[in-house]
């Protein structure tokens, strides 16, 4: 029998057609956060993720890469597992639809459904979208037979197919959805499913193909491969050993507590999946939660469209916790939101470097300064202390409520309210003034104790979202006793023992220099994109005009003039810069140019060069440079040559 405190959570299984990007990371981090939270609050958790490796799309990607499909997916799966390790994702099982255990179980499922009459053979004709692996009816297609999901052209496909009897289960499913409002979350998705698909009437579902071979063969008709959705959806139970002799995991964990999906696959998970389960005589998952998309320029990120952000560069520079925090904090779970590196950096600076990082570093620094690093026993609490203590003691329950509703952003917002209140508490109690007198120091013991204890609460509560950070905080706070790092130890304020020694460490989230880092991240993201999808990257490059065309009015904005070199010398302590004194008609200008490795300064005196004269002046190494000298670079940029003007034209002449 199923124990009450188990918790089974799943992510969709991802297509290994290219490297996983921030969108896939989003779902996986959400599942990991939830799994960690449930573990922390005493549940026996099982967290499943994996890859959906069959189908025409993967077959084509492998062909393009010029390798057999199995070799192709093996490579991407290895990358995916590395990425999940990097993101600190602790799954209990990773299922691949090419696993033998899965293939055999899917065949047994198909056979059972066929034997009991839920599957029959017929012919199918329809518009099919290869990238989305979906057939669409005429009323669903966009104008021009475009796929309603991805707007790409669909293909007319006619083939013999096995079908799953869906209509038979329609009324039952409508009733289930209507009587279980928690089943499809957020509720707007339930409405959408009822209105758009269930109430108009379900058509039987085509569940096999003969047009490609990369899939699980129908056991009694090997011309057909089992079409992706039956193959893919069953992963959630084949991973638990369904249809095998050992039913322990099924008995313990099925039905799943929460299945996370992106909103575009809600239909498959709230209509097809329940019907498959019903036909198999299995209970339905308690909840399917459809979250929103991370958008990139208002469009869904897509490996094949090339508008993708990858987690690797972000994690390399700022750590997995910063990205995990941003993903869980930025948008309410269920809604869409834009992803940009700049917004991520801004939030990391404000919430992590400022609010949390400063609270920790100020508290530890003050305990070191005023009490030689030893946390003191608190004295009598005053109202201002009691106010903060009340906030802290109420916090775990608020966080639990939000987490149980998968409102990660709200849960974090509650925690950050208390971080804000703790920072304000410092302003209100003014420790720097208390530290000046003996009497004040008596009071300061209590103030710093309250702050240390507040940080203990915060450290424990952020753990599911940011699993590497609490350890760093506890180390600085000197908390080594694991008993006071647990959810249970949030039962009341005051478990931090007096006498504990703090230890100042490095900033847990150093401030990001956004301006300097943005171009670096962008360049590294481009490298990831090329590695992930060399063909698409090449095509994008070819499609981009190398230089945009401009009108003559654009050129007229540029003031190019001839300039005569009056003096030229190396800039001190710089290998690259030459400082020019130039005569430009009636005026003289100072200009710096990064050309020192290519010319001896004295050879340039008296020569006439081309100057871009209407750039705003810029200070470089304390010298104001008033313009830019034009030069040409060799392909590898190892050689630079200045542009000289032939004799006969003086300085200050316009160039057009």
Quote the CA–CA distance of 508 and 356 in Å, as a whole number: 9
Whichever of 24 and 564 has its CB closer to ligand MSP, that residue is: 24
By beta-carbon proximity to ligand MSP, the closer residue of 262 and 378 is 262
69 is a site residue for ligand MSP (CB under 6 A):
no
List the one residue out of 439, 640, 491 whose CA is nearest residue 41: 491
Specify the 3-state DSSP secondary structure of 224. strand
Rule CB under 6 A: is residue 24 a binding residue for ligand MSP?
yes
Using DSSP, state whether 209 is helix, strand or coil: strand
Q: Looking at 164, 193, 232, 610, which residue binds ligand MSP (CB under 6 A)?
A: 232
Is the Cβ–Cβ distance between 418 and 359 less than 8 Å? Answer: no
Q: Given the DSSP bridges, would you call strands 258-262 and 6-14 parallel, antiparallel or unpaired?
A: parallel
Query: What b/e sequence results for 436-466 when a residue is b if at least 16 CB atoms lie within 10 Å of its CB, and e otherwise?
Result: eeeebeebbbbbbbbbbbbbbbbbbbbbbbb
Binding segment toward ligand MSP, per CB under 6 A, in 257-265, 418-426, 479-487, 570-578: 257-265
Q: Which residue lies nearer to ligand MSP by CB, 226 or 395?
A: 226
* Least separation in angstroms between CB 198 and ligand MSP: 20
Contacts (Cβ under 8 Å, ≥6 apart) of 350: none
Smaller CB distance to ligand MSP: residue 37 or 236? Answer: 236
Q: Determine the Cα–Cα distance for residues 167 and 171; give it in Å rounded to an integer.
A: 8
ω before 186 within 30° of 0 (cis)? yes
Task: Choose, by CB under 6 A, the member of 7, 8, 14, 162 that binds ligand MSP.
Answer: 14
- Compare residues 59 and 651 and give the one whose CB is closer to ligand MSP: 59
Hey, how many other C-beta atoms are within 10 angstroms of the C-beta on 387? 14
Q: Rule CB under 6 A: say whether 529 interacts with ligand MSP.
A: no
**Cα–Cα distance measured from residue 297 to residue 63, given in angstroms and rounded to the nearest whole number:** 30
CB of 550 to ligand MSP, least distance (A): 34
Residues 76, 77, 109, 233: which binds ligand MSP (CB under 6 A)?
233
Q: Check binding of 262 to ligand MSP (CB under 6 A).
A: yes
Read off the DSSP letter of residue 272: I
The three-class DSSP label of residue 234 is: coil
Q: Measured from the CB atom, is 330 or 463 closer to ligand MSP?
A: 330
Nearer to ligand MSP, 12 or 459 (CB): 12
Q: By C-beta, is 110 or 580 nearer to ligand MSP?
A: 110
Report whether 348 contacts 509 (CB < 8 A).
yes
Which residues in 115-134 are b (16+ Cβ under 10 Å) and which e?
A: eeebbeeeebebbbbbbbbb
Q: Least Å distance between CB 210 and ligand MSP?
A: 21
Q: Which is nearer to ligand MSP, 334 or 627 (CB)?
A: 334
Question: Which parts of 279-338 interact with ligand MSP (CB under 6 A)?
Answer: 293-294, 300-301
Of the candidates 400, 404, 243, 286, the residue with the CA atom closest to the CA atom of residue 10: 286
When the beta carbons of 259 and 579 are compared against ligand MSP, the nearer one is: 259
- Near ligand MSP by CB under 6 A: residue from 8, 15, 46, 457: 15
* Interacting span for ligand MSP (CB under 6 A) from 9-17, 88-96, 538-546, 591-599: 9-17
Whether the CB-CB separation of 577 and 623 falls below 8 Å is answered with: no
Stretch that binds ligand MSP, among 22-30, 193-201, 361-369, 511-519 (CB under 6 A): 22-30
Q: How far apart are CB 440 and ligand MSP at their closest, in Å? A: 52
The alpha carbon torsion through 239, 243, 247, 249 (nearest 10 deg) reads 10
Choose between 232 and 444: whose C-beta lies nearer to ligand MSP. 232
How many residues are recorded in the chain?
656
The least distance separating ligand MSP from the CB of residue 228, rounded to whole angstroms, comes to: 7
In angstroms, what is the minimal distance from the CB of 256 to ligand MSP? 12
Instruction: Give min distance, CB of 451 to ligand MSP, in A.
Output: 38
Closest approach of ligand MSP to the CB of residue 103, in Å? 15
Name the minimum Å distance from CB 305 to ligand MSP.
11
- 3 state SS of 495: coil
Kindly tell me which residue out of 9, 45, 173, 265 binds ligand MSP, with binding defined by CB under 6 A.
Answer: 265
* Cα(458)–Cα(392) distance, integer angstroms: 9
* Per-position DSSP letters for 158-207, written without gaps between them: EEEEEEE--GGGHHHHHHHHHH-TTSEESHHHHHHHIIIIITT-PPPEE-
Q: Select from 106-114, 197-205, 261-269, 643-651 the region that touches ligand MSP (CB under 6 A).
A: 261-269
Count residues contacting ligand MSP (CB under 6 A)? 18
Angle between helices 273-280 and 170-179 (to 10 degrees): 110
Contacting range for ligand MSP; rule: CB under 6 A; set: 20-28, 119-127, 474-482, 621-629: 20-28
Min dist CB 468 to ligand MSP, Å, is 23
Exactly one of 8, 19, 23, 225 binds ligand MSP (CB under 6 A); that residue is 23
Q: Choose the stretch contacting ligand MSP; rule: CB under 6 A; options: 13-21, 74-82, 455-463, 588-596.
A: 13-21
Instruction: Tell me which residues in 25-44 interact with ligand MSP (CB under 6 A).
Output: 26-27
Does position 473 interact with ligand MSP (CB under 6 A)? The reply is no
- The answer to the question of residue 87 lying near ligand MSP (CB under 6 A) is no
| Closest separation in Å from C-beta 467 to ligand MSP | 21
Least separation, in Å, of the C-beta of 173 and ligand MSP? 18
Given a contact cutoff of 8 angstroms between Cβ atoms, the answer to whether 353 and 507 are in contact is yes
- In terms of C-beta density within 10 A (0-12 exposed, 13-18 middle, 19 or more buried), how is residue 88 classed? middle
Q: Which is nearer to ligand MSP, 50 or 378 (CB)?
A: 50
Q: Which is nearer to ligand MSP, 10 or 579 (CB)?
A: 10
| Residues 151 to 180 in contact with ligand MSP, rule: CB under 6 A | none
Nearest distance from C-beta of residue 129 to ligand MSP, angstroms: 12
261 interacts with ligand MSP by CB under 6 A: yes
Q: How far is the CB of 273 from ligand MSP (least distance, A)?
A: 8
Applying CB under 6 A, among 32, 52, 59, 257 the residue interacting with ligand MSP is 52
- Can you tell me the distance from the alpha carbon of 366 to that of 433, in angstroms, rounded to the nearest whole number? 12
Cα–Cα dist 323/466, whole Å? 9
Q: How far apart are CA 492 and CA 494, in angstroms?
A: 6
Strand, helix or coil for residue 567: strand
Residue placing its CB nearer to ligand MSP in the complex, 30 or 389 = 30
CB-CB contact of 355 with 507 (8 Å):
no
Is residue 13 within the footprint of ligand MSP (CB under 6 A)? yes
- Contact flag: residue 495 with ligand MSP (CB under 6 A): no
147 CB contacts (<8 Å, ≥6 apart)? 129, 131, 132, 134, 136, 141, 153, 154
Token digits of residue 619: 């200070």
Residues lying near ligand MSP in the complex (CB under 6 A): 12-15, 23-24, 26-27, 52, 232-233, 261-262, 265, 293-294, 300-301
């Amino acid at each position: 029998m199923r124990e009450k405190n188990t918790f089974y959570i799943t992510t969709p299984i991802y297509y290994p057609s290219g490297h996983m990007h921030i969108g896939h990371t989003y779902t996986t981090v959400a599942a990991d956060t939830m799994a960690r939270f449930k573990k922390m609050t005493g549940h026996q958790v099982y967290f499943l993720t994996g890859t959906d490796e069959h189908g025409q799309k993967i077959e084509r990607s492998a062909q393009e890469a010029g390798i057999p499909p199995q070799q192709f997916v093996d490579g991407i799966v290895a990358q995916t597992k590395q990425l999940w390790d990097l993101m600190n994702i602790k799954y209990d099982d990773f299922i691949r639809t090419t696993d033998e255990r899965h293939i055999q179980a899917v065949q047994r499922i198909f056979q059972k459904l066929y034997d009991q009459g839920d599957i029959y053979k017929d012919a199918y004709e329809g518009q099919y979208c290869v990238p989305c692996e979906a057939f669409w009816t005429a009323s669903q297609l966009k104008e021009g037979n475009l796929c309603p999901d991805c707007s790409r052209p669909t293909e007319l496909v006619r083939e013999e197919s096995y079908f799953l009897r869906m209509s038979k289960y329609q009324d039952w499913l409508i009733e289930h959805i209507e009587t279980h409002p928690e089943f499809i979350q957020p509720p707007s998705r339930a409405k959408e499913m009822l209105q758009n698909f269930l109430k108009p009437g379900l058509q039987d579902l085509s569940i096999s193909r003969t047009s490609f071979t990369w899939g699980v063969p129908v056991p009694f008709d090997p011309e057909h491969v089992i079409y992706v959705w039956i193959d893919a959806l069953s992963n959630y139970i084949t991973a638990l050993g369904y249809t095998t002799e050992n039913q322990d995991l099924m008995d313990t964990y099925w039905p799943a507590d929460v299945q996370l999906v992106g909103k575009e696959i809600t239909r498959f998970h709230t209509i097809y999946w329940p019907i498959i389960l019903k036909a198999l005589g299995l209970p339905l998952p308690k909840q399917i939660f459809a979250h929103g998309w991370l958008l990139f320029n208002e469009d869904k990120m897509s490996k094949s469209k090339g508008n993708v952000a990858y987690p690797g560069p972000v994690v390399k520079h700022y750590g997995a916790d910063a990205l995990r925090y941003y993903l869980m904090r930025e948008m309410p779970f269920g809604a869409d939101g834009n992803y940009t590196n700049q917004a991520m950096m801004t939030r990391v600076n404000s919430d992590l470097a400022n609010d949390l990082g400063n609270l920790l570093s100020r508290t530890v620094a003050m305990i070191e300064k005023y009490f030689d690093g030893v946390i003191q026993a608190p004295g009598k609490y005053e109202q201002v202390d009691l106010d903060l203590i009340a906030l802290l003691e109420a916090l775990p329950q608020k966080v639990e409520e939000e987490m149980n509703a998968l409102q990660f952003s709200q849960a974090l917002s509650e925690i950050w309210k208390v971080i804000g209140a703790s920072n304000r508490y410092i302003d209100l109690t003014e420790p720097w003034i208390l530290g000046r007198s003996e009497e004040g120091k008596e009071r300061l013991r209590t103030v710093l104790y309250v702050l240390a204890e507040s940080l203990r609460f915060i450290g424990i509560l952020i753990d599911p979202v940011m699993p590497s950070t609490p350890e760093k905080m506890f180390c600085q706070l000197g908390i080594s006793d694991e008993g006071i790092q647990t959810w249970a130890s949030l039962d009341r304020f005051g478990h931090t023992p007096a006498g504990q020694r703090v230890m100042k460490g490095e900033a847990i989230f150093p401030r990001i220099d956004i301006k300097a880092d943005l171009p670096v991240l962008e360049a590294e993201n481009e490298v990831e994109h090329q590695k992930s999808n060399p063909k698409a990257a090449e095509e994008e490059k070819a499609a981009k005009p190398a230089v945009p065309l401009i009108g003559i009015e654009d050129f007229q904005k540029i003031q190019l003039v001839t300039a005569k070199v009056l003096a030229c010398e190396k800039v001190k302590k710089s290998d690259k810069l030459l400082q020019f004194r130039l005569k430009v008609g009636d005026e003289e200008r100072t200009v710096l140019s990064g050309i020192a490795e290519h010319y001896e300064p004295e050879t340039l005196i008296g020569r006439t060069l081309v100057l871009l004269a209407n750039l705003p002046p810029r200070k470089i190494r304390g010298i104001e440079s008033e313009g830019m000298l034009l030069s040409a670079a060799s392909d590898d940029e190892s050689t630079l040559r200045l542009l000289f003007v032939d004799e006969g034209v003086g300085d200050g002449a316009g160039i057009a």
